[in-house]
Amino acid sequence: MSDKIGIVILAAGEGTRLKLELPKPLAPMCNQTLIDFPIQSSMEFLEKTKQSGHLGLVLGHEKERVSSYIDNNFSESKFKIHKATQNEQLGTADAVNSYLRDVKSHSETEVTFILCADTPVISSNELEILHDKLINEKRDAVAATFKTETPKGYGRIIRGGSGFKIVEEKDATEEQRYVTEVNSGFYAIKTKFLVDAIKNIDNKNNSGEFYLTDLFKEDGNVEAICFEEADVFIGVNDLQQLQRAEKILRWKKMRELREEGVRFIDLSHTYVDPSVSIASGSVIYPNVFIEGNSVIDKNCTIEPGSIIRNSHLEEGVEIKAYSHLEDVVVRKQAAIGPYGRLRPGADIGEESKIGNFVEVKKAVLKKGAKVSHLSYVGDAEIGENTNIGCGFITCNYDGAQKHKTIIGKDCFIGSDTQMVAPVEVGDGSFVASGSTINQSIPSGSFAIARSKQVTKENMAKRFLKSKN
């Protein structure tokens, strides 16, 4: 099936103002990269509207780095991403020409969208609005515009006749500079019109660049849709705009979640990535970071200062203050913290409890297991309803390799116990506190491994040093 829609993302720019040691498309954005956002919005639009289409990425500055990022992250996408190369940055029209030259299948498309790599807030909704306008009103091209009190740097929208033109800052008259309606750099264009009209664009302007904006003419069959919410079109050119774009994306996400029944105690001091999902009935306290592909099921509570990264919390989980979770699963009704540390591979069972200052790594705790205080559980399996006392340590590393500790169900492991792995404790065993266990224990056993106590009456004074 031939593609009806081509979505071109301009990403050849250098982005020097960001002052990052990264090409601009790979700048960080809500724990993803900047380029992910226009790609995701474009794919979501094609998916939602059931259109056949492709994406075209125009690369230039550090093109190999951006290209290999795309290969590593989007090779399995439903829609093809074609890459085009702009060797010299001669302007936005030249960038689009690079796409038309390198991606031959553009000729099959009816509509071409143009997006910039650095406008992460534009969503599939805005693509839909532009597309509908273009088709329903039989326009040649539609541009998204907005109003701003600080139009400096943007192309000004000069309406007149049947259409409008766009005058760039450098070419604008004093009077035109006062115009507050500006160009967002995001367009939907009939491909046939684009291919014909782009040929007539020259670089006779104050920048000496080929401006794509010259497609729009006052007597043209073109339309400018002025969007009320300017935030959608924020461009990321420096670190201040990057911070603002991240904030807008997070707030947009949290407001959507709030509509669905997630309660935020103070949304303005909470940090939820757009990639996260949270179900209704959950309560999120301030200073919480929920990142990556984390999934929070219904009725969870996440207390202040906690960080949840790429983790799944099942229904009714309670994360008490200042806990840190990364790449873990916490099952129904379990409780973590305060000050819990769950590292990759921790799987905390239903109704289990991980108390304060407990670190768990690559370990499975079965239903109802408890590790309540000051412990390290690494490379381990802890059975159902087993209780582990304070100050427990799995000695999992022998300096060269990691080894496993397996403790069965219904055990009681006394405080200040070490398990020198590899070691296994059978179901229903009791280990006395202060034991260093380095041999496996069969089910139902009592094990004690500490030296016998010696008490010498009246001998303390020999050891108590006099203060005089």
CB of 86 to Mg ion, least distance (A): 15
DSSP label at residue 465: P
> What, of ligand UD1, Mg ion, none, does residue 198 touch, CB below 5 to 8 Å by kind?
none
> What, of Mg ion, ligand UD1, none, does residue 388 touch, CB below 5 to 8 Å by kind?
none
CB 30 within 8 A of CB 246: yes
Residue owning tokens 């367009």: 187
Give residues 394-413 in contact with ligand UD1 (rule: CB under 6 A). Answer: none
Contacts 24+ apart (CB under 8 A), 175-181: 177/151, 179/151, 180/147, 180/148, 180/149, 180/151, 181/145, 181/146, 181/147, 181/156, 181/157, 181/224, 181/226
| Nearer to ligand UD1 (CB atom), residue 69 or residue 357 | 69
Question: In which region does residue 10 sit, left (phi positive, over 0), alpha (psi from -120 to 50) or beta (all else)?
Answer: beta
Give residues 147-206 in contact with ligand UD1 (rule: CB under 6 A). Answer: 154-155, 166, 168, 182-185
Out of 40, 92, 97, 333, name the contact with ligand UD1 by CB under 6 A. 92
Residue 213 φ then ψ, to 5°: -60, -15
- Structure tokens, 18: 């960001």
How far apart (Å, rounded) are the C-alpha atoms in residues 132 and 211?
25
How far apart (Å, rounded) are the C-alpha atoms in residues 81 and 227?
28
Strands 393-395 and 387-388: unpaired
| Nearer to ligand UD1 (CB atom), residue 195 or residue 279 | 195
Give residues 112-141 in contact with ligand UD1 (rule: CB under 6 A). Answer: 116-118
| Nearer to ligand UD1 (CB atom), residue 155 or residue 337 | 155
Interface mask (CB under 5 A) for Mg ion, residues 216-245, using x and -? Answer: -------------------x----------
Out of 5, 8, 12, 360, name the contact with ligand UD1 by CB under 6 A. 12
Residue 186 φ then ψ, to 5°: -120, 125
Residue whose C-alpha is closest to residue 167's, from 146, 150, 147, 181: 181
Catalytic residue among 82, 106, 324, 373: 373
DSSP label at residue 268: G
CB of 348 to Mg ion, least distance (A): 46
Give residues 179-218 in contact with Mg ion (rule: CB under 5 A). Answer: none
| Nearer to ligand UD1 (CB atom), residue 154 or residue 392 | 154
Q: Judge whether 269 counts as a catalytic residue.
A: no
| Nearer to ligand UD1 (CB atom), residue 116 or residue 407 | 116
Q: Which helix (H) or strand (E) holds 196?
A: helix 191-197
Which residues does residue 29 pair with via DSSP β-bridges, in sequence order? 32
- Name the residues that contact ligand UD1, by CB under 6 A: 10-13, 58, 60, 86, 89-92, 94-95, 116-118, 154-155, 166, 168, 182-185, 211-213, 235
**Catalytic residue positions, numbered:** 373
- Name the residues that contact Mg ion, by CB under 5 A: 235
